[in-house]
Structure 1
Amino acid sequence: MSPPRPSLSVAVVMRREHLNNRWQPWRWSLAEVVPHEDAFGTAPRLLRQTESDEQWLFPGFAVELFRDDAEGYHLNLSAPQPCWFVHWRMDEEPGADGHQLARPVDVSLSYHDAGRWLDAQENVDQVPAPGPVREWLQVFVDTHYQPEPRRRRRPESFRPLTDRFGNPASISTGKSRGGGGGASAEGEGGHG
Structure 2
Amino acid sequence: MDVAVVMRRERIASAWQPWRWVLADVVPHEDGFGRQPRLLLKDANEERWLHPGFRVELHRGDAEGYYLNVTTPQPCFWVVWRIEEEAALADSPIAVPQTVTLSYHDAGRWLDAQETVEQVPAPPDVVQWMQHFVDEHHVLEAKRRQRPQSFKPLVDRFGSPACVSTEKKFGGGGRG
Normalised by the size of structure 1, how large is the TM-score? 0.78
Q: Structure 1 stretch 66-75 or stretch 86-95: which is displaced more? A: 86-95
Root mean square deviation of aligned Cα: 1.8
The structure with the larger Rg is 1
Runs of 4+ with >2 A deviation:
94-98, 152-157, 159-170
Give the 3 Å change call, closer, same or farther, for CA 46–153 of structure 1 in structure 2: same
User: Which amino acid letter does the alignment assign opposite residue 152 of structure 1?
Assistant: R
Aligned counterpart in structure 2 of residue 77 of structure 1, from 45, 65, 70: 70
* 1:90 is the counterpart of 2:83: yes
Q: Tell me the matched-pair count.
A: 162
1:98 Cα deviation from its structure 2 partner = 2.6
Please say if residues 160 and 168 of structure 1, whose CA atoms lie closer than 8 Å, have aligned partners that are also in contact.
no
1:155 Cα deviation from its structure 2 partner = 4.5
Aligned counterpart in structure 1 of residue 20 of structure 2, from 8, 18, 27: 27
* 1:134 is the counterpart of 2:90: no
Give the 3 Å change call, closer, same or farther, for CA 54–68 of structure 1 in structure 2: same
Please say if residues 77 and 134 of structure 1, whose CA atoms lie closer than 8 Å, have aligned partners that are also in contact.
yes
Q: Structure 1 stretch 27-36 or stretch 92-101: which is displaced more? A: 92-101
Please say if residues 83 and 93 of structure 2, whose CA atoms lie closer than 8 Å, have aligned partners that are also in contact.
yes
User: Which amino acid letter does the alignment assign opposite residue 125 of structure 2?
Assistant: P
Give the 3 Å change call, closer, same or farther, for CA 92–149 of structure 1 in structure 2: same
Q: Which residue of 1 aligns with 2:166?
A: none
1:152 Cα deviation from its structure 2 partner = 2.3
Which whole-Å deviations, capped at 9, do the CAs of 1:60-86 have from their partners, x for residues lacking one?
000000111111111111111110100
User: Which amino acid letter does the alignment assign opposite residue 139 of structure 1?
Assistant: H
Q: For 2:100 and 2:161, how far apart are their aligned partners in 1?
A: 50
Which whole-Å deviations, capped at 9, do the CAs of 1:129-178 have from their partners, x for residues lacking one?
00000000000000111112211223456x353354543479xxxxxxxx
SS of the aligned residue for 2:160 comes to coil
State how 1:1-16 maps to structure 2 within 5 Å: 8-16=1-9
